[in-house]
Amino acid sequence: MTPVDNMARSGPDPQVVKQAINWMLRLRNNRANLRLQTQCEHWREAHHEHELAWQRVQALQHELNSQLSAIPGAHMALENSAQRLGRRQALKVLSGVVLMGSAAWVSRDLTGWQRWTSDLATATGERRSVQLPDGTRLQLNTDSAVNLDFNAQQRLITLVRGEILVTCSTEVSAPLLVRTREGLFEGIDGRFVVRQDSDCTRLSVATGNVAIHSPHTADGLSTQVHAGESYLVRQTEAVLAPPSDMDVGAWADGLIVTRNMRLADFLAEVGRYRHGYLGCAADIADLRLSGVFRLQDTEKLLAILPQTLPVRLHYRTRWWVSLERQV
Amino acid sequence: MPSSEFAVQTLYSNHHSWLNTWLRSRLGNAADAADLAQDTFVRLLQKTERLELKAPRAFLRTIARGLVIDHWRREEIERAYLESIAHLPEALAPSAEDRALVLELLEAVARLLDGLKPKVRKAFLLAQCDGLTYKQIALQMDVSLRSVERYVAEALYHCYVLRYEA
């Protein structure tokens, strides 16, 4: 190969590039070492490829360093976004498999399934409703994920994150179980909502009955939960929840229904359905809000707020919205 | 009509609605899906030399998948950056124009860092963004000095290849 051909190729040999990088890093950590500097200069002079690789590596290093060190928050932004991007890619691979699998099982009749497992997930802002092979209807709220394991002994739904609404099918005798980080629940009949919060599970029964098997009562018994009741469940105990300022399960109809709800709590709830930051100034956090809001378009939902409360929306970007007191 | 334009039209009418549906299932959002479907065909037009496609769907999917990841990366970068400056008082917070510039820059760097192992990425960011010495990085990550050197060298080589040889 002639030298001209060699230059026309894409550039220095990979080994030479790696050597150049090693020289640079060694020098950076031994700035005062004159002998090392001389050795490096000899290496650069030994071949024009060495010098070219050296120049490029220096330029790259300088570019990255000058840009990144000047941006406050760059490290956190790059690290966090890389992690989330990785999770998102992994998640979508899973849900792709589910979509393909679902076509196969949806058409099967009730007697067709013996053992069946699957994973379902929704993205932020997405809601999804599926009919399971036993006839149970499962609705996933925004940013939720479940693993399903159905066999002749039990129908187990593991809520990994988020919130589900279960409408029990009673045509099958195997118990219908929902497991969360904190507890194990059995849907006897009717409809109920299970929500995984950061520090506890919230169980709300709309119609019918649910039993809390774990954690059990001090007597070692299951707690029976009836229509209209909500329980807060932690590792050690399940306690009756105070009345909610929001209609549990309204999301399944695409709504948030509030009664005298704090603005800050309301925004935290709406924030589950959108990306980015949504918050309010401290001096308006305790304003109260009652009404029926559509989840379909949270931009529109937010735009309504200044009509009912003395607040204004401050859009820094599409993903950064803060509410302030209207002056 | 040049044959390449014709080929694109055929491709478009045969596959556009399928592509739209595929993108929607990934993005969970009709407006973004429509945008990216459009971008996919624009990308295709820029590669006019390869229009006699044996497997057009696979090819479109490859382009579209890349665009979806670009789209997510942009979203995640913006979100993470806004979070990282959220604690700054209003007076210190960058202007809208500065933010746009910074986001563009971060996105370019994030693309360079794509595919790095988490430890390699972490060592590299500690060195480049925070200006830590290798000793400090070794302490913070609880690995040997030699590993830190290896990580940073690996990250730089990765960036070099993307920058000069891609």
Instruction: With beta carbons less than 8 A apart as the criterion, state whether A260 and A243 touch.
Output: no
pLDDT of residue A121: 85
The low-confidence residues of chain B, meaning pLDDT below 50, are 1
What is the signed CA dihedral for A242, A243, A245, A249, rounded to 10 degrees?
110
Q: What is the pLDDT of residues A133-154, one digit of tens each?
A: 888 999 999 988 898 888 878 8
Residues in chain B within 8 Å Cβ distance of A65: 128
Amino acid identity, residue A129? Answer: S
Chain B residue with Cα closest to A125 = B28
In 3D, which of A171, A209, A170, A180 has the Cα closest to residue A192?
A: A209
- Sequential pLDDT tens for chain A (327 residues): 333 334 444 688 889 999 999 999 888 878 778 899 999 999 999 998 899 999 999 988 888 887 787 777 888 888 888 888 877 776 554 444 333 333 333 333 333 344 556 678 888 888 988 888 888 999 999 988 898 888 878 889 999 899 999 999 887 778 899 999 999 999 999 999 999 998 899 999 988 999 998 888 877 788 999 888 899 999 889 999 988 888 888 899 888 888 889 999 999 999 999 888 899 999 999 999 888 888 988 998 999 899 888 999 998 877 789 999 988
Minimum distance, in Å, between the CA of residue A187 and any CA atom of chain B = 30
pLDDT of residue B54: 66
Minimum distance, in Å, between the CA of residue B141 and any CA atom of chain A = 14
Give, as one character, the DSSP assignment of residue A252: G
Residue in A25, A64, A276 closest to B79 by CB: A276
In three state form, how does the secondary structure of A21-79 look? Answer: HHHHHHHHHCCCCHHHHHHHHHHHHHCHHHHHHHHHHHHHHHHHHHHHHCCCCHHHHHH
Residue in A61, A123, A320 closest to B156 by CB: A61
Q: Which residue has the tokens 């497997």?
A: B55
In three state form, how does the secondary structure of B79-144 look? Answer: HHHHHHCCCCCCCCCCCHHHHHHHHHHHHHHHHHHCCCCHHHHHHHHHHHCCCCCHHHHHHHHCCC
CA distance A301 to A291: 11
Fold held by A250-325 = Phage tail protein beta-alpha-beta fold (3.55.50)
CATH code 2.60.120.1440 region(s) in chain A: 91-240
Chain A residue with Cα closest to B84 = A73
ipTM at complex level: 0.79
- Cis, bond preceding A215 (omega within 30 deg of 0): yes
CATH code 3.55.50.30 region(s) in chain A: 250-325
pLDDT of residue A170: 80
Q: Per the structure block, which two tokens stand in for B67?
A: 């665009």
Phi, psi (degrees; rounded to nearest 5) at B3: -65, -30
Minimum distance, in Å, between the CA of residue B118 and any CA atom of chain A = 8
Pairing of strands A277-280, A320-325: parallel
**Taking CB atoms and an 8 Å limit, are B106 and A71 in contact across chains?**
yes
Task: Please report the domains of chain B, with CATH numbers, ordered by start residue.
Answer: 1-94 (1.10.1740), 115-166 (1.10.10)
In 3D, which of B163, B4, B96, B149 has the Cα closest to residue A314?
A: B96
**Taking CB atoms and an 8 Å limit, are A275 and B26 in contact across chains?**
no
Residues in chain B within 8 Å Cβ distance of A14: 157
In 3D, which of B151, B165, B153 has the Cα closest to residue A21?
A: B153
pTM for the whole structure: 0.48
Fold held by A91-240 = Jelly Rolls (2.60.120)
Would you report the helix, strand and coil content of chain A in percent, each value rounded to 5?
35, 35, 30
